[in-house]
């Protein structure tokens, strides 16, 4: 299962029971948190996300609606007796804040908090299941988008064929990654004789808070799902530019140019009590657009 | 109207839809906020407390469940275009945190934030309606309790008597504060000839997070309402001592010794799913005890 659950879809001011930004990306045994606005830990309780399962947290930037809930979440993890390490990827100054908050509270966390400073674009975390990379976006302060790329074997073994060539099962893992087999007498069994191609790993792209900026297109190209902010509707495009945000139409234009498969829009301004306009405006440009709704899990 | 509305009555871990500490004290035109745990601004929306009306905020100490919601509230006030000044009374290090958070977000507040460091016991704020003082309590880190004392005229004018002595209405305010009137020919009209006594101004005492400590008794003596923390029940008294907290029984003992009129207990541990035990235990010692329940306004 590879999916994203929205915990907060509003911009800076909480309103209409919409909360500041937070999302949980689930991929097999991994649970990643992206951004952590105020109240995220309560939203986790509401939507039955287990705090203890989160292994990595990614913070896009230091506007409060993206991180004011982080210190509360970390403190709660400590109070609950967490011992497994936690990895935090965030703009460098956040470390100073967390250290101060723990110091003033005279609190020592019972677990290792590994702080990874976001400084350069590229891969920031990788294991045998997933690769996470970050990219710069255009916002009023330094701000980062994230790509979550599923790592999957390239090939699926056809068991009866592998058997007929007497390939030992100990070699199957290497077959899955496309290797040919060489048997004892030197005969090469070409990989595609005993395997068939698998669909590629999927890609989720989170573009964070950004104004309309075509330079991100190459970073998110072909994503299975793109989350792009849409703080305003197109009639407030000038305000969007002034505040380094996007309109729903602009988000959809980026989705279209990047040939993504599906677009989710979020980070709605508290100016808007209802959200239909965002869906409608995005779909006019890119039909496979949806609202990122709190409590909903979207499959990647 | 002098009252306190509970926005959060739980201790460190939010649980069972109970929230970290925050209370709103309303006195005539004043709306004061005491402590501001994570999610306080959402609780204000839920319970229809207008953020814009808050003029003074008092933070007891720098454990997160008492202040992690403050920066979000302040930021929201700014986003909403607040211009009237805001007074914040808190332990000194909080200023550094707020300054850093605003700096990292590249945010200038559109209103004056006056930071008042809590350093000594005594009166910290006074006008013609209210006097607020702070006192030290016994917690793991520096922690302050607060007393809100209503300032009310001492005497009520009996209009027909004042008229019969030909006292001009311009002198009435001074009569209310107990002054005698001296007429043109030097005759002294004793105050109590033309006025009658008024009930004294009321007193609300908030004892913050504290272990059982009889030294606070003299600070809160005779309060009309005392809020005292009761994190645990008496069977966990040892844990309470270890963590510098109190049991419901201890809170009630303090109430009794201080001759307060009514006790509210709060700051319940997330160990407890239901709260009946707290009420029962407190009432065994001090019968006029109640639970501080979220969303409820208690008249002082």
pLDDT tens across A145-164, in order? 999 999 999 999 999 999 99
**Kind and range of the H or E run holding A125:** strand A122-126
B39 vs A15, A38, A80: nearest CB: A38
Q: How many CB pairs under 8 A join A and B?
A: 91
Contacts of B104 in chain A (CB under 8 A): 62, 91, 93-94, 97, 141
A64 vs B62, B75, B80: nearest CB: B75
Give the pLDDT of chain B (300 residues) as one tens digit per residue. 899 999 999 998 888 899 999 999 999 889 999 999 999 999 999 999 999 999 999 999 999 999 999 999 999 999 999 999 999 999 999 999 999 999 999 999 999 999 999 999 999 999 989 999 999 999 999 999 999 999 999 999 999 999 999 999 999 999 999 999 998 889 999 999 999 999 999 999 999 999 999 999 999 999 999 999 999 999 999 999 999 999 999 999 999 999 999 999 999 999 999 999 999 999 999 999 999 999 999 999
What the block records as the tokens of B171 is 């002198």
Predicted structure pTM score: 0.91
pLDDT of residue B104: 96
pLDDT of residue A102: 97
Residue A15 has pLDDT above 90, yes or no: no
pLDDT of residue B184: 86
Closest CA to B137 of B224, B5, B227: B227
| CATH of A2-152+202-299 among 3.60.15.10, 3.40.309.10, 1.10.10.1150, 1.20.1260.10 | 3.60.15.10
**CA–CA distances in Å: residue B202 to residues A96, B128, B131, B132, B221:** 44, 14, 11, 12, 12
B106 vs A38, A69, A140: nearest CB: A140
Residue A29 has pLDDT above 90, yes or no: no
**Kind and range of the H or E run holding A283:** helix A276-285
- Tell me, yes or no, if A38 comes closer than 8 A to chain B by beta carbon: yes
Question: How far apart are the C-alpha atoms of A252 and A247, rounded to whole Å?
Answer: 9
Could you tell me the residue ranges of all domains in chain B?
2-152+202-299, 155-197
Backbone angles phi, psi at B189, to 5 degrees: -100, 110
- CA A244 to the chain's CA centroid: 21
- Tell me, yes or no, if B109 comes closer than 8 A to chain A by beta carbon: no
Contacts of A62 in chain B (CB under 8 A): 101, 104-105
Secondary structure of A186-252 in HEC code, one letter for each residue: CCEECHHHHEEECCCCCEEEECCCCCCCHHHHHHHCCCCEEEEECCECHHHHHHHHHCCCCEHHHHH
Cβ within 8 Å, pair B12-A39:
no
Tell me the helices (H) and strands (E) count for chain A, helix number first: 10, 18
- The answer to whether residues A262 and A288 touch, using CB atoms and an 8 Å cutoff, is yes
A97 vs B75, B80, B97: nearest CB: B97
Chain A CA closest to residue B68: A72
Closest CA to A24 of A43, A11, A13, A38: A43
Contacts of B97 in chain A (CB under 8 A): 97, 100-101, 104
How would DSSP label each residue in B98-142?
Answer: HHHHHHHTT---SS-EEEEE--SSEEEEE-SSEEEEEEE---SS-
Cβ within 8 Å, pair B64-A71:
yes
**Kind and range of the H or E run holding B26:** strand B22-27
Angle, in degrees to the nearest 10, between helices A276-285 and A248-257: 30
Backbone angles phi, psi at A259, to 5 degrees: 50, 40
pLDDT of residue A281: 98
- The answer to whether residues B61 and B141 touch, using CB atoms and an 8 Å cutoff, is yes
- The answer to whether residues B56 and B132 touch, using CB atoms and an 8 Å cutoff, is yes
Residue A13 has pLDDT above 90, yes or no: no
Q: What would the mean pLDDT of A113-121 be, rounded to a whole number?
A: 97
Chain B CA closest to residue A12: B76
β-pair type (B122-126, B113-117):
unpaired
pLDDT of residue A41: 96
Question: Catalytic residues of A, which ones?
Answer: 65
Cβ within 8 Å, pair B71-A64:
yes
pLDDT of residue B29: 86
pLDDT of residue B240: 95
Cβ within 8 Å, pair A76-B13:
yes
- Tell me, yes or no, if B182 comes closer than 8 A to chain A by beta carbon: no
Rounded mean pLDDT of chain A?
Answer: 96
Q: Is A26 helix (H, G, I), strand (E, B) or coil?
A: strand
Q: DSSP label at B53?
A: G
Cβ within 8 Å, pair A97-B104:
yes
Cβ within 8 Å, pair A72-B64:
yes
A96 vs B12, B45, B100: nearest CB: B100
Q: Band of the pLDDT at A43, cuts 50, 70, 90?
A: very high
**Kind and range of the H or E run holding A32:** strand A30-36
Rounded mean pLDDT of chain B?
Answer: 96
Q: Band of the pLDDT at A184, cuts 50, 70, 90?
A: confident
- The answer to whether residues B21 and B38 touch, using CB atoms and an 8 Å cutoff, is no
Portion of chain A with pLDDT greater than 70, in percent: 100
Q: What would the mean pLDDT of A252-261 be, rounded to a whole number?
A: 98
Per the residue annotation, which of B17, B28, B35, B65 is the catalytic one? B65
Tokens 């709260």 sit at which residue?
B275
pLDDT of residue A12: 85
Beta strand ranges found along B118-275 (DSSP E): 122-126, 130-136, 144-150, 155-157, 181-182, 188-189, 195-197, 203-206, 225-229, 263-266
- The answer to whether residues A114 and A88 touch, using CB atoms and an 8 Å cutoff, is yes
Residue A1 has pLDDT above 90, yes or no: no
Contacts of A106 in chain B (CB under 8 A): 140-141
Q: Is A4 helix (H, G, I), strand (E, B) or coil?
A: strand
Contacts of B7 in chain A (CB under 8 A): none
């Amino acid at each position: 299962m590879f999916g994203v659950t929205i915990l907060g879809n509003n911009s800076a001011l909480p309103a209409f029971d919409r909360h500041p930004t937070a999302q949980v990306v689930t991929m097999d045994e991994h649970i990643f948190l992206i951004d952590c606005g105020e109240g995220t830990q309560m939203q986790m309780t509401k939507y039955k996300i287990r705090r203890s399962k989160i292994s990595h947290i990614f913070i896009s930037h230091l506007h409060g609606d993206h991180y004011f809930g982080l210190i509360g979440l970390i403190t709660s993890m400590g109070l609950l007796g967490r011992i497994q390490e936690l990895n935090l990827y965030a703009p460098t100054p956040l470390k100073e804040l967390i250290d101060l908050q723990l110091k003033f509270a005279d609190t020592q966390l019972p677990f290792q908090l590994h702080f990874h400073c976001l400084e350069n674009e590229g891969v920031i975390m990788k294991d045998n299941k997933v690769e996470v990379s970050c990219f710069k976006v255009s916002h009023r302060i330094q701000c980062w988008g994230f790509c979550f790329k599923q790592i999957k074997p390239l090939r699926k073994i056809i068991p009866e064929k592998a058997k007929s060539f007497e390939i030992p099962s100990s070699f199957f893992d290497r077959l899955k990654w496309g290797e040919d087999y060489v048997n004892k007498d030197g005969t090469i069994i070409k990989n595609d004789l005993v395997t068939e191609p698998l669909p590629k790993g999927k890609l989720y792209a989170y573009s964070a808070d950004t104004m309309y900026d075509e330079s991100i297109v190459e970073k998110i190209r072909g994503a299975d799902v793109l989350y792009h902010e849409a703080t305003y509707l197109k009639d407030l495009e000038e305000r969007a530019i002034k505040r380094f945000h996007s309109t729903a139409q602009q988000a959809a234009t980026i989705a279209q140019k990047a040939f993504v498969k599906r677009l989710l829009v979020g980070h709605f301004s508290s100016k808007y009590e209802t959200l239909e306009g965002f869906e409608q405006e995005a779909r006019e440009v890119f039909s496979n657009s949806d609202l990122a709704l709190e409590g909903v899990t979207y499959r990647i």
